[in-house]
Amino acid sequence: MSAGEFFDLIRPAVLIVSALLSTWVLVHARRHGLPLVWSFIWALAAVALPLVAVPIYLAIRLIRKQPKTDPVKRTLWATFLLPSIYLMFLLALITIWEYRAANVVDLHLARATQAKLAGDRPRVISEYRAALAIKDDPHTRKLLGVELSDEGDWTAAFSELRLAERGGEPDGSLPFRIARLLDALNQPNQALMEYKRFIYSEACLKHMMDAECDVARQRVEGAGYPGE
């Protein structure tokens, strides 16, 4: 599992923890006499940057002298209702955000598929880029790289395929595609390294008669690097 995929997996939990921390900051600030506006500012900062805002808030509260508050002022509204409403509001926003993000990405990918069937490659590229702007996904990067390669934008295609590979895209043909792009970019030495890597990959070892593997072997052997 790549780092990006791992973060996508734990992101909802991270957002929920941030919401809980933010609610705690709100309650703590109100109990220690901080004005309502400043309490909300610190609480919202804890949602946006929990690893920064929460330690700073705690440090400030420790440094500054804690004012004594009147227990009578701790009403049911301030103690339970306001924090509960605030937390439910944050959780609702998180749910809506995650739902919309997932559906918007799927919508862009669906539009890319339709554009591909219609032969509209610029639209395909545009939709893949829009999907990646919302969610970084190695498979989508590979698809974008393939389209850019077919479009003749070899530099951008090489960059996308490298990112897809580093992100954990399991497609075994990536080294071959990257090697072809390096050849197109007039970088034969780097291309040979990718061809050799492809020859000894599972994609070739398990499919010995594959046409791409034959091309890679011929390219390596023709350069004086036997792929044996």
Q: What is the 3-state secondary structure (H, E, C) of the chain?
A: CCHHHHHHHHHHHHHHHHHHHHHHHHHHHHHCCCCHHHHHHHHHHHHHCHHHHHHHHHHHHHHCCCCCCCHHHCCHHHHHHHHHHHHHHHHHHHHHHHHHHHHHHHHHHHHHHHHHHCCCHHHHHHHHHHHHHHCCCHHHHHHHHHHHHHHCCHHHHHHHHHHHHHCCCCCCCHHHHHHHHHHHCCCHHHHHHHHHHHHCCHHHHCCCCCHHHHHHHHHHHHCCCCCC
By the 10 Å C-beta count (0-12 exposed, 13-18 middle, 19+ buried), 223 is classed as middle
- Using the predicted structure, report yes or no on whether residue 147 has a pLDDT greater than 70: yes
Tokens of 14: 């991270």
Confidence of residue 71 (pLDDT cuts 50, 70, 90): very low
pLDDT of residue 29: 86
Confidence of residue 45 (pLDDT cuts 50, 70, 90): very high
Q: Is the four-CA dihedral 28, 33, 36, 40 of positive or negative sign?
A: negative
pLDDT of residue 224: 57
CA 143 from centre of chain: 16
What predicted TM-score, i.e. pTM, was given to this entire model? 0.58
CA 88 from centre of chain: 26
Read off φ and ψ for residue 118, nearest 5 degrees.
Answer: -85, -5
Read off φ and ψ for residue 113, nearest 5 degrees.
Answer: -65, -45
- The mean per-residue pLDDT over the stretch 151-177 comes to 94
Computed over every residue of the chain, the mean pLDDT equals: 84
Q: Please, what is the angle between helix 138-151 and helix 121-134, to 10°?
A: 150
Give the type of residue at 179.
A
In the chain, the domains with their CATH numbers are: 3-74 (no CATH), 120-222 (1.25.40.10)
Q: In the chain, what percentage of residues exceed pLDDT 70?
A: 84
pLDDT of residue 94: 86
- Using the predicted structure, report yes or no on whether residue 177 has a pLDDT greater than 60: yes
Scored b (16 or more CB within 10 A) or e, 119-130 reads eeeeebbbbbbb
pLDDT of residue 228: 41
Q: What is the largest CA-CA distance in the chain?
A: 88
d(CA 82, CA 43): 13
